A and B are shown apart, each in its own frame.
Chain A
Amino acid sequence: MMNFRLSSPRILVTTGLIAALATGIAVSITALAAPAPPTLTTVTTQTLAASGVTLGVPEVPATVSRDAAIQVATAALPGSQSREVVLAQVHNDHLAPVLDRLAWVVSIMPPGGIYSSSARPGGQALQGSYLLVFVDAQTGAFIYATRGGEIH
């Protein structure tokens, strides 16, 4: 009885360690297998999240090429340069209807620099730091654009 009582905690501890180890291995394998969500260097994830934007791992391949998406993104602002492009499952629940679509996210720099805010009478414009154009990766259509300043 006494031996049994002494060995019972050992069994429990050992079992617990094995379970924790197994869980850790499983989590590690899952983490290795799942690609990280796309990120941008021209605007932080935090700033995008403030406008409702999250970028997820693409769930299907794009049928529209990266170059075609850049053409669409820069068409409205001739002379604009592409700063970076990522393919993402774009989600934005601030928009109505909610956006959840595979899109090329094209960060562009207009020839005159990133737009400032439009200000208001008596006010001063705020300087922007990024301009992203979302292009449907299945149809090549312009979805919407977002721009603004970085949250610090």
Chain B
Amino acid sequence: MSRFRAPLVIAGIGMLTAFLPAATATPALAKCQPYYNGSPRSDDNQYHFDGWYRSPGVTVGGIYSSILNYSPWVQPNGSGENHFVAAWTMLDHASSCSTCDYAQVGWFENPGGARYTFTQWTHDNTFSENDFSPQSVGSYTYYTTLYNNTPGKFTFQVAGSTIDTETAAFTPNEGEIYGEENTLASQMPGGYNSNAHEVFSDANIYLNGAYQAFSGTADPGNTTYFGNSKTSSQYDMVWDKACAS
């Protein structure tokens, strides 16, 4: 089954891309330092997430979604800090959080605006990451993480093309699509205006030999600060409540 998965994904993406002109219109994007109660939000150096997940209880062979390459405001680094904001698709093992095994592909942005496409995966009780030139801000890109498409490997695809293939050190049983930041002082991708959300569209998951609608569970994290709207089984949007755009 795995042998035929990549061509199907590419073909599917190609077909779907042809029908995406409305979705790919560039929304208003503006960096916004998030405030709360009149003050900049705390630089708490904690991880925060906003997105959706699916834990089907069986091996997950792949996940993909068309994700808006949003450019958020990223808290400048203080001493000992390396802040970033990201969005990605991920395969992980839901019950192995002693090692928290996962494999993911997406975009991230550093303070000052440097952006990258990245792949990251856990193995040998550690992790590895590769960073590549980014997709254009404001565009939509399919970020795909596959398991066993090549036997025993994770395959990472961007816009339907494989960019990286790495040895799989675990068997994934969960799919996730999230925005992420490693301090509350940064902006979660997306603004609260309806045309400024971070978008996870055309989300699909590979289960039992076939792709199906992702149908994930929305998970906004801290609802004091972050919004999340799941409008269909394949479409979720997230945003920072402190930012209009």
CA distance A126 to B123 in the complex (A): 11
| Interface residues in A, total, Cβ within 8 A | 38
Interface members, chain A 116-147 (any B CB < 8 Å)? 116-126, 128, 142, 144-147
B126 touches A149 (CB 8 A): yes
Of the 9-residue stretches B60-68, B128-136, B140-148, which lies at the interface with chain A?
A: B128-136
Using known A-B contacts A76-B114, A115-B82, A144-B132, determine if residue A121 contacts B178 with beta carbons closer than 8 Å. yes
Interface centre among B47, B162, B180 (most CB of A within 10 A): B47
Q: Would you call B219 an interface residue if the criterion is a C-beta within 8 Å of the partner chain's C-beta atoms?
A: yes
**Band of interface residues on B:** 35 or more
Residue of B nearest to A121 (CB): B49
What is the CB-to-nearest-CB distance from A54 to chain B, in angstroms, rounded to a whole number? Answer: 15
What is the CB-to-nearest-CB distance from A99 to chain B, in angstroms, rounded to a whole number? Answer: 10
Residues of B within 8 A of A78 (CB): 112
Using known A-B contacts A95-B163, A112-B77, A142-B133, determine if residue A118 contacts B128 with beta carbons closer than 8 Å. no
Using known A-B contacts A118-B86, A144-B132, determine if residue A128 contacts B165 with beta carbons closer than 8 Å. no
Using known A-B contacts A96-B165, A112-B82, determine if residue A126 contacts B77 with beta carbons closer than 8 Å. no
A128 touches B176 (CB 8 A): no
What is the CB-to-nearest-CB distance from B121 to chain A, in angstroms, rounded to a whole number? Answer: 9
Using known A-B contacts A112-B81, A121-B53, determine if residue A94 contacts B221 with beta carbons closer than 8 Å. no
What is the CB-to-nearest-CB distance from A127 to chain B, in angstroms, rounded to a whole number? Answer: 8
Residues of A within 8 A of B219 (CB): 121
B176 touches A112 (CB 8 A): no
| B213-227 vs A, Cβ < 8 Å mask (1 yes, 0 no) | 000000101000000
11 A-B pairs with CB atoms under 8 Å apart are A94-B164, A94-B165, A94-B166, A110-B82, A111-B79, A112-B80, A118-B120, A121-B219, A144-B133, A148-B127, A151-B124
Spell out A's residues near B (CB within 8 Å): 50-52, 75-78, 94-96, 110-126, 128, 142, 144-152
Q: Given A125-B182, A148-B126, list of 8 further CB < 8 A pairs?
A: A51-B130, A110-B82, A112-B79, A123-B100, A126-B127, A145-B116, A146-B129, A149-B127
